[in-house]
Structure formats: C-alpha cells, structure tokens
Amino acid sequence: MDGSGNQLSLYERLGEETLERAVYLFYDKVLADDRVRHFFKNVNTAILAQHQYNFLLTVTGGPGAYTGRTLRDAHRKLVLKYGLNDEHFDAILENLKKTLEELGADYSTIEELLNAVNGFRGEVLNR
C-alpha cells in the first residue's frame, strides 16, 4: 500500500526498470527454449520486445496504452500455420515466471501478473 492506504498497482510494485529488464531477460529465455523458440525465427526481436514492454505496461497499470495489433491478429498466423497452442502459452508463462523470480519480484506480485497475462490466453490462441 502507498502512504494513503491505497493498493499499489502491479506497475508500481514491479517498477519501470524491472519491467524493462524483464522483457530482455524474458526473450533471452524464450529464444533458448526449444518448446517455443521456433515461433521467433525471422522475427525482429527488438521490435517484438518493444511491443511486449508496452503490453506489460498496459497489463500492470503503467503509463500509456498498448497500441499494437490485437493479440488475436498478431498471433493468428502462429496458431493457424504453426500450431501455437496451450502448451506453448504455458511455456511462455513459465519463462515469464522464471524471469520475474530472477529479478527478485515477490511471489504474490508474480502470481498476479501471471494471472493477468493468462487472462489473454483465449485471445492469443484465437479462441
């Protein structure tokens, strides 16, 4: 809680610097993960990292708003042509969890963020 007794947002609890570091550490993990790295072949990860950062800002209640394509549109080809599914989504969540643990985020904050991201599963998987 802040000094006025209000609950801090995920963004405030994690902090901008942690979110920035998390995105790059996360992609290092994802690109080394045999379960999902093939989805990132021939992808400009610098641009993708910026989209991911903006998405995390939005999900955590940070400043600005995500303005990229809808998650459904951005992942449609991955689902239809390359078979993106729940197993892959779970691997992404696992890598995000490991990243946040490595950066020292507390358990409840990690769980809250993972639950928020998991709320987009259906959209990402085009259901």
Pick the CATH number of 16-124 from 3.80.10.10, 3.30.559.10, 1.10.490.10, 3.20.20.70: 1.10.490.10
Nearest Cα to Cα of residue 78 among 117, 29, 37, 45: 37
Task: Give the pLDDT score at 123.
Answer: 95
Region 33-47 average pLDDT: 92
Look at residue 21 and give its three-state secondary structure. helix
In whole angstroms, give the CA distance from residue 30 to residue 40: 9
Region 103-127 average pLDDT: 96
Q: Residue 115 belongs to what H/E stretch?
A: helix 107-118
Give pLDDT tens digits for 58-102. Answer: 999 998 767 778 999 999 999 999 999 999 999 999 999 999 999
Give pLDDT tens digits for 2-18. Answer: 455 568 899 999 999 99
State pTM to two decimals: 0.89
* Residue 97 Cα distances to 2, 14, 31, 74, angstroms: 25, 13, 15, 23
Residue 109: pLDDT over 60: yes
**Is residue 125 within 8 Å of residue 75, measured between CB atoms?**
yes
